[in-house]
Amino acid sequence: MAASSALPQFHVVGFTGHRRVAKVEQVQAKIAAALDSLVANGEVEWLGVSSIAEGSDMIFAREVLAKGMEWEALLPLPPIDFKADFAEDKWREVEALMAEASEVRVVAQEGNREEAYLDCGIETVNACDVLVAIWDGEPARGPGGTADIVTFARELKRPLIVIDPVTGDERRENFEHYKPVDDELTFLNGLPEPTTKDTGDPADSLDLVGRFMAKTDQAATKGAPKFRLLTVAAVLLHLFATLVATFGLAFDWQPVGLSWAKLLFVLGALGSALAIRHFRAQDTWVRCRLAAELARAELATWGMARKAALFDDVNLPETRQLLRSLHILQSRATKGQRPNLDTFRQHYRVGRVDDQLAYYRKRLAKADPQLRMMRRGFSIATMLAIITTAAYAWHATFHIYEIPYFLKALLFYFMPIIMPVVAATFISFISINDLHRRVARYREMCHLLESVQKQIMVTHSWRSLEQLVRRTERTLLQEVLEWHTLMSHLEAHH
């Protein structure tokens, strides 16, 4: 039996709370109970995320770790600056907790301290699916206080568990917006398994992501509706209908079959247009393509030492859980490893940059001659239209020569009408196939990747290499993101 390619789903519980709590044991018990109630949903794995200020933040972190959950620490400032807010003994506790964190992320590298704490709270809300708050209901005592973070969570309609630190009362808000599982990732996980032979380790995260990429790529390739072919067919059928009608009028030839042929061409064009509308209303291929490219990028950068998720700036609700799963799987698989800069650099250049450069060169070699051919066809049709129209005008004005009927019908009645239509058809083909933009895009990508080929071999630190890789991957993903936005817009207005 083939190994499953379904990615695990992860949910994140965030935390905000007061630094000073009088009833520590009560707060600890309430936080533990809130975590137990969330973890009781066995369909997903829960992780914790919070800052690590003195007080309830530290209580939350200890409870998360005590339950065997992973915990990500968010620091409002770099450790050397954050340390100033703690006594020496408390800072040792913070360092001990940070050593147990799955990831330690600094939210603000510089700036006002109060703003940094506010940004840290906002980032906690953005990163979580449910927010637990130890809040007494009072206004914030300064920017970035618990009340501010709760208010922000409410504005986003983020599910909230609010616990009063004095009375121990608990209330839940916005849980009607809570989704036990992510619909998009569930859909992607349910796609047919890839037909390629599976030779990897079913328990290996790298192999799992590879199988997931293979099946989403397979689904995208098989399911992609041929929009351009259908549109070209509609234009050609209209052209043939015009040819038939113009031929009949120009040569005064009107058999019954000619009318039926025209009707069939027009009906065929209508059928193509309806097919385009139908496929656009029910398409899933672009969702699969986006998922495949995200997984492909994760695989290409698997061995890179990184400070954050690869596409943490991709703000699409549909990809939130997918990106989280890919990032967590990669982080877990590479935790404790010491990647070699030279090895990864060579791997990325050959396996990703060179491969993509060959792909774009191939696409350019195909699209550029098509564009030139369409331009040439437009020029020839336009010149014939001009010549035959001028000849008709000259003859109609001066009547110098007698012209045979067939030649007169062809040059004066048929060609001046049909040639502009043919010229417009060539222009339509350029537009339908997006040839101007595609050729420019392929040239741009070739130039970019050739530049990356040179830059990547002179990078001598993980920081500079990560910046280069992130720019490259974001650019490679840009086109499919544009397609995703376009198709989402079409669906929303269907």
Q: What is the pLDDT of residues 249-268, one digit of tens each?
A: 888 888 888 888 989 999 99
Exposed/middle/buried for residue 328 (C-beta within 10 Å: 0-12, 13-18, 19+): buried
Q: What is the DSSP annotation of 374-424?
A: HHHHHHHHHHHHHHHHHHHHHHHHH--S---HHHHIIIIIIHHHHHHHHHH
- Report the distance separating Cα 94 and Cα 106, nearest Å: 14
Task: State both tokens at 387.
Answer: 């010549």
Which of 158, 148, 156 shows the shortest CA–CA distance to 120?
148
CATH of segment(s) 10-181? 3.40.50.450
Centroid of chain to Cα 230: 26
Q: How many CB atoms lie within 10 A of CB 356?
A: 20
- Report the distance separating Cα 207 and Cα 192, nearest Å: 17
Whether residue 122 is predicted with pLDDT greater than 80 in this model: the reply is yes
- Report the distance separating Cα 451 and Cα 449, nearest Å: 5
Query: Residue 137 has what pLDDT?
Result: 84
Whether residue 177 is predicted with pLDDT greater than 60 in this model: the reply is yes
Q: What is the pLDDT of residues 48-65, one digit of tens each?
A: 999 998 889 999 999 999
Query: Residue 493 has what pLDDT?
Result: 42
- Report the distance separating Cα 192 and Cα 227, nearest Å: 24
Q: What is the pLDDT of residues 311-359, one digit of tens each?
A: 877 778 888 999 999 999 998 888 877 888 899 999 999 999 999 999 9
Domain ranges of the chain: 10-181, 205-224+284-492, 227-281
| pLDDT bucket at 3, cuts 50 / 70 / 90 | low
Q: What is the pLDDT of residues 383-441, one digit of tens each?
A: 999 999 999 898 888 877 788 888 889 989 999 999 999 999 999 999 988 899 999 99
| pLDDT bucket at 487, cuts 50 / 70 / 90 | low
- Report the distance separating Cα 470 and Cα 447, nearest Å: 17
The residue among 486 and 176 whose pLDDT is bigger is: 176
Reduced to 3 states (helix: H, G, I; strand: E, B; else coil), residue 133 is strand
Query: Residue 110 has what pLDDT?
Result: 67
Q: What is the pTM of this model?
A: 0.83
| pLDDT bucket at 492, cuts 50 / 70 / 90 | very low
- Report the distance separating Cα 211 and Cα 191, nearest Å: 11
Whether residue 305 is predicted with pLDDT greater than 80 in this model: the reply is no
Sheet of 103-106: strand order equals: 103-106, 71-75, 45-50, 10-17, 130-134, 160-163, 170-173
Centroid of chain to Cα 173: 30
Query: Residue 494 has what pLDDT?
Result: 44
Query: Residue 203 has what pLDDT?
Result: 62
Centroid of chain to Cα 321: 12
The residue among 29 and 483 whose pLDDT is bigger is: 29
Mean pLDDT of 475-494: 69
> φ and ψ at 87, to 5 degrees?
-70, 165
Q: What is the pLDDT of residues 350-394, one digit of tens each?
A: 999 999 999 999 999 999 999 999 999 999 999 999 999 999 898
Which of 59, 40, 41, 42 shows the shortest CA–CA distance to 50?
59
Least confident of 67-76, 195-204, 457-466, 475-484: 195-204
Measured CA distances, 456 to 160, 395, 462, 469, 478 (Å): 45, 68, 11, 9, 21
Which of 54, 178, 160, 61 shows the shortest CA–CA distance to 117?
54
Reduced to 3 states (helix: H, G, I; strand: E, B; else coil), residue 487 is helix
Share of the chain above pLDDT 90, in %: 56
Mean pLDDT of 258-281: 83
Q: What is the DSSP letter of 434?
A: T
Query: Residue 1 has what pLDDT?
Result: 41
- Report the distance separating Cα 56 and Cα 65, nearest Å: 14
Q: What is the DSSP letter of 83?
A: G
Query: Residue 132 has what pLDDT?
Result: 96
- For the chain, what's the residue count? 494
